[in-house]
Structure 1
Amino acid sequence: MDLKSTLLVIGGSACSFKLLNTIVRILPTLEPAHKKAWKWRNIITSLAHSLLTGAWAVLCLYHQPHMVEDLISSHSLFSHRLVAVSTGYFINDFLDLALNQSIRQSWEVLLHHYMVITATPSIDSIAMFLVFRVCATGWMIHWLATHSELVPRYVLMMGTVGLSLISTMNMVLCYRLLRTDILTSTGNTGKNH
């Protein structure tokens, strides 16, 4: 799919999701939802996107079974369009959030949408991994160690075992992330099967 076609699909998708949002606005609203009408419209649009792209992803894997084994270097026109449609949705939702909610209320969702739209590079993935996995686990280990006398012994044991498993998993995931995103060359990612 060339750039012009991709941009047309992205634009058409963004406009289609905006149209869906507008249609939902016109429909009668239940009494309890009047105060949060925008939020309900946003949720319905998000649900429509999830249902559409979830079924579409299953169809992509059904029609191109080799993608199950290699999602990096294999794709099809059908799967490429799926990504373009989702990008259009994220652009629409980003703008909808930015215009209808304060940044203070929606900054994390806006950041998420920005990262999805721009296909966050590998270094950002590792930084996010370190912040949200390693730092969070470190904080939990620190809390458990400093409050060990205040919690029941079985809770301390369960916490220690659980955090040990999570820490081990995080080390394995970090190694895999480093190996696939940083340590290997990206020369074979351009193949089209």
Structure 2
Amino acid sequence: MDLKSTLLVVGGSVCSFKLLNTVVRFLPTPEPAHNKMWKWRNTVTSLAHSSLTGAWAVSCLYCQPKMLEDLISSYSLLSHCLVAVSTGYFINDFLDVSLNQSLKQSREVLLHHSTVLSCFTLAMTSRLYLGFAVVSLLIEINSVFLHIRQVLLLLGQGNRTGPAEPCTSVTYSLTSWLNLGTLLVFRICTTGWMTRWLASHREHIPRFVFMIGTTGLSLISTMNMVLLYRLLRADFLTNPHNTSKNH
């Protein structure tokens, strides 16, 4: 796929996710989420992206298993389109968050999105490291449950009556465990595997690419550990009164 086609896919993705966000605006909103309309729309849009790209990433690796053996030069149209579509989402979400939240509230999300966009842009324009980008999108499998959890919180199903009391929603409790399990496997383990791969292939990677990759993985690994701590504290250790959206 050439640069023009890539830009068309990215642009089409931006427009599609913006359209989805707009459609959600006009659909009936559950009553508990009425006072958090923007967060509801943003979370539903993010859930759609996670569901799509998580399954798509698995499909890419299933159809081309040799991609795991060569994350640098392995290429397929399916993987290129996946990275382009995901890039469009991150551009749309970056703009959406920037326009609707203060910098203090959104700085972690914006920093995460900026890092991802830098790495994905490099992969799309060079047609290299697409395998690396596809593996990184396995993290979206956890994001599915992370966003479902947020939806349940917006619906008021995640509150507890006391520090030692179980969650009032069985669905929320199950989602919390699935969220924790997939976070450990698809965030922590995947990021760790990517870090190990990057270190072991340092001699095959240009210095500036290695620096971008190292910086990005260091940042995301740190954010993953912070996310793990917050989720453990919120869902398994203490009684939360305020739980914010995590990416």
Q: 1:184 aligns with which of 181, 204, 212?
A: 204
| Counterpart code for 1:184 | H
After superposition, the Cα gap between the structure-2 partners of 1:62 and 1:34, relative to the gap in structure 1 and judged at 3 Å, is same
What 5-or-longer segments of structure 2 have no aligned partner? 123-192, 210-247
Q: Secondary structure at the match of 1:70?
A: coil
The residue type equivalent to 1:13 in the other structure is S
Q: Give distance in 2, aligned partners of 1:18 and 1:44.
A: 12
Q: Secondary structure at the match of 2:71?
A: coil
Task: Report the Cα distance in structure 1 between the residues aligned to 2:59 and 2:115, rounded to whole angstroms.
Answer: 25
Q: Which whole-Å CA distance do the structure 2 matches of 1:86 and 1:17 have between them?
A: 10
What is residue 100 of structure 1 aligned with on the other side?
100
Q: In the alignment, which residue of structure 1 is the partner of 2:10? A: 10
C-alpha distance in 2, partners of 1:107/1:175?
28
Whole-Å Cα distance in 2 between the matches of residues 17 and 101 of structure 1?
18
Counterparts in 2 of 1:58 and 1:174: CA distance versus 1, 3 Å? closer
1:71 aligns with 2:92: no
Correspondence for 1:23: 23
Q: 1:173 to 1:92 in 2, by over 3 A?
A: closer
Identity over aligned pairs, percent: 68
Which residue is 1:88 aligned to?
88
Q: For each residue in 1:47-73, what CA deviation from the matched residue of structure 2 results, as whole angstroms up to 9, or x when unmatched?
A: 100110111112112221211322222
CA distance in 1, matches of 2:196, 2:104: 35
Q: Following the alignment from structure 1 to structure 2, what is the Cα–Cα distance between the partners of residues 174 and 112?
A: 17
Deviation sequence 1:76-101 (CA, Å, 0-9, x none): 01100000000000000000000011
Q: CA RMSD in A?
A: 2.4
Per the alignment, residue 142 of structure 1 pairs with none
**Matched letter for residue 19 of structure 2:** L
Q: 1:21 to 1:173 in 2, by over 3 A?
A: closer
Bigger relative contact order, structure 1 or 2 (CA pairs below 8 A, ≥6 apart): 1
Aligned residue-pair number = 136
Who is 1:35 aligned against? 35
d(CA) in 2 for partners of 1:174 and 1:87?
22
> Counterpart amino acid of 1:90?
F
AA of the residue aligned to 2:6: T
* CA 1:175–1:45: 2 relative to 1, 3 Å: closer
CA gap of 1:86–1:105, structure 2 versus 1, over 3 A, is same
TM-score, structure 1 normalization? 0.64
Gap change, CA 1:105 and 1:116, over 3 Å in 2: same
Whole-angstrom CA distance in 2 between matches of 1:175 and 1:50:
25
Give the aligned residue type for 2:2.
Answer: D
Distance in 2, matches of 1:46 and 1:32, equals 19
Stretches of structure 1 lacking an aligned partner (at least 5 in a row): 122-171
Normalised to the residue count of structure 2, the TM-score between the two structures is 0.51
Per the alignment, residue 138 of structure 1 pairs with none
